[in-house]
Structure 1
């Protein structure tokens, strides 16, 4: 059960990070290429 909770928390954190990257892109703080690179790193690709 602890492992399941830890996995859920990690997933929620990753989701929040992805949303932050997309918000930076929307606000023109980063380029599309930078956003793509950051999202790929978060996804582990």
Structure 2
């Protein structure tokens, strides 16, 4: 994965459940896609 870096963080089980539910709702295949989308929207003002 050229041009990519790994990011890992411990989060509460409650927050994890919310994240996974939203990932499924958005029909994203991987958690990486979800996290990248959230960060991109945050930093690009989306």
Task: Compute the TM-score of the two structures, normalised by the length of structure 1.
Answer: 0.37
Structure index of larger Rg:
1
Q: Between Structure 1 and Structure 2, which shows a larger proportion of helix residues?
A: 1
Q: Which has the higher contact order (CA 8 A, sep 6+)?
A: 1
